[in-house]
Amino acid sequence: MEAFPNPEAHVPSCPSHEELQRLLAGNLAAAEFSRLEALVEKDPKNASLLARLGGMYRVDNPNRSLDYFRRAVEAEPRNPNYATGYGSALVQAKRFADAAALLSQVVAADPQNYAAHANLATALYELKSYAGAISEYNWLLGVKPDLFVADFFIAISYDNLGQYEDALKYYEEFLAKADPSQNELEIEKVKLRLPALRNQIKRGAGVKPQKRK
């Protein structure tokens, strides 16, 4: 017969400052995920640990990520980084309306928050709120002018809005920046669209671009 297990066997020891810093930064092995989760069980309102777990699970387990980020935001509601993480997890979980509502508040309070703008752009695009998405993607281009993916989504957004001249401009910007070895599919899609788009512009179709001040 097996001996009764030691009731303290699964109680995690307190980490040293150095170990805690390592757990909060860099790439972790799978075994260390459980170490972090055990620490959260002992300190369930530690926002740093909760947000760290939220970030680690964001791609592979969006629902778990959402729960950790939600708890981090509840623990420190004024921290824009945790709200941004929660917003990005909402995007990953395809809860775009919730993400857009939250991230709009984040960028209003923290206008230079790049991650919040990037995730808000995605949420608005997926919601087909193209005018808002264009505004966000243009903000991203202002920070990173060579961010060709922003040109691509701006072009599609203008195309869907029927603003064909603007769409053509950004499609051409995308083609000028994109890497053919990595973006072959997107480049082919744009090249297939351009002849019809140019014919629509030639016929005077679509919404005329507004004069920019």
Mean pLDDT of the chain: 84
For residue 131, give both structure tokens: 């005018």
pTM confidence score: 0.79
Give the angle 31-34-36 at the CA atoms, nearest 5°.
115
Is the pLDDT reported for residue 12 higher than 80? no
Backbone dihedral region of 3: left (phi > 0), alpha (psi from -120 to 50 degrees) or beta? Answer: beta
Domains 16-127 and 130-204 share a fold: yes
pLDDT at position 21 over 70: no
Which residues have CB under 8 Å from 45's CB, separation 6+? 71, 75
Neighbours of 199 (CB within 10 A): 11
Q: CB of 206 within 8 A of CB of 163?
A: yes
Architecture field, domain 16-127: Alpha Horseshoe (1.25)
User: What's the confidence (pLDDT) of residue 11?
Assistant: 33
Give the pLDDT score at 156.
96
pLDDT range class, residue 15, cuts 50, 70, 90: very low
Measured CA angle at 128 (ends 192, 194), to 5 deg:
15
Average pLDDT over residues 14-36: 49
- Residue 122 — very low, low, confident or very high, per pLDDT cuts 50/70/90? very high
Distance CA 175, CA 173 (A): 6
Domain ranges of the chain: 16-127, 130-204
Instruction: Note the pLDDT of residue 31.
Output: 56
CA angle 56, 183, 127 (to 5 degrees): 60
pLDDT surpasses 90 at 211: no
Measured distance CA(27)–CA(30) in Å, rounded: 10
Q: CATH fold of 130-204, please? A: 1.25.40
Distance CA 148, CA 137 (A): 10
User: And the tokens for 115?
Assistant: 């991650």
pLDDT at position 61 is: 84
What's the token pair of residue 207? 């919404």
Mean pLDDT computed over 109-115: 94
More confident residue, 61 or 118: 118
If you average pLDDT over residues 42-69, what whole number do you get? 87
Q: Are 39 and 13 in contact (CB under 8 A)?
A: no
pLDDT given for residue 206 in this prediction = 84
Q: What is the rounded average pLDDT of the residues 86-102?
A: 94
What pLDDT score was predicted for residue 62? 85
- Lowest-confidence region among 26-40, 65-79, 86-100: 26-40
pLDDT at 5 > cutoff 80: no
pLDDT class of 3 with cuts at 50, 70, 90: very low
